[in-house]
């Protein structure tokens, strides 16, 4: 890829965002004259500027250098990234569903344990009453 193609891609990115050279330079944190030289191809394109422009435009550095994503592997990478993100969403939803199911099961088990503990207390009370009654009957 030559500087001419890259400068045209940079110009296209700026125009797609409806930015003046001054506003674009401000957004990138560089002087307008520096940006103008980049866009006009009157200075060497430095990789730092490519990354800054890509970050600002929300695209990859490859798109700044290569231009149209369909002309490169960028479109394929985007599709793969989307499949990856879809899979992450599916796994997250499955995880959350399983987590909710397990929490419901834990709540149910805790309720059963509580009921069993209540039953044990009641049985101990009944046993204590029966033992007292037996003792009272013995004393009579």
Span 69-100, pLDDT tens digits: 555 566 677 788 899 999 999 999 999 999 99
Q: Do residue 82 and residue 139 come from a single domain?
A: yes
**Count of domains for the chain:** 2
For 115-129, the pLDDT digits (tens) are 999 999 999 999 999
Q: Do residue 107 and residue 54 come from a single domain?
A: no
Dihedral pair phi/psi, residue 20, rounded to 5°? -80, 165
Q: Do residue 48 and residue 85 come from a single domain?
A: no
Cα-based torsion angle of the residue sequence 72, 78, 83, 88 in order, rounded to the nearest 10 degrees: 140
Report the CATH number at residue 59: 1.10.260.40
Per-residue confidence (pLDDT) for residue 124, from 0 to 100: 96
Q: Do residue 60 and residue 92 come from a single domain?
A: no
Q: Do residue 93 and residue 117 come from a single domain?
A: yes
Question: Cα(125)–Cα(122) distance, rounded to whole angstroms?
Answer: 5
Determine if the pTM surpasses 0.75: no
CA angle 50–54–55, rounded 5-degree value? 120
Q: Do residue 15 and residue 47 come from a single domain?
A: yes
The answer to whether 9 and 16 are in contact (CB under 8 A) is: no
8: domain range?
A: 3-68
């Amino acid at each position: 890829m030559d500087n001419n193609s890259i400068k045209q891609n940079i110009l296209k990115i700026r125009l797609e965002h409806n930015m003046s050279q001054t506003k674009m330079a401000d957004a990138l944190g560089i002087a307008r004259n520096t940006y103008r030289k980049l866009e006009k191809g009157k200075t060497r394109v430095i990789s730092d500027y490519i990354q800054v422009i890509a970050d600002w435009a929300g695209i990859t550095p490859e798109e700044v250098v290569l231009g149209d994503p369909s002309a490169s592997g960028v479109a394929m990478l985007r599709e793969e990234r989307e499949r990856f993100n879809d899979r992450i969403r599916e796994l997250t939803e499955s995880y959350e569903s399983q987590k909710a199911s397990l929490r419901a099961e834990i709540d149910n088990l805790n309720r059963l344990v509580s009921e069993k503990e209540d039953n044990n207390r009641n049985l101990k009370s009944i046993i204590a009453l029966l033992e007292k009654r037996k003792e009272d009957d013995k004393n009579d």
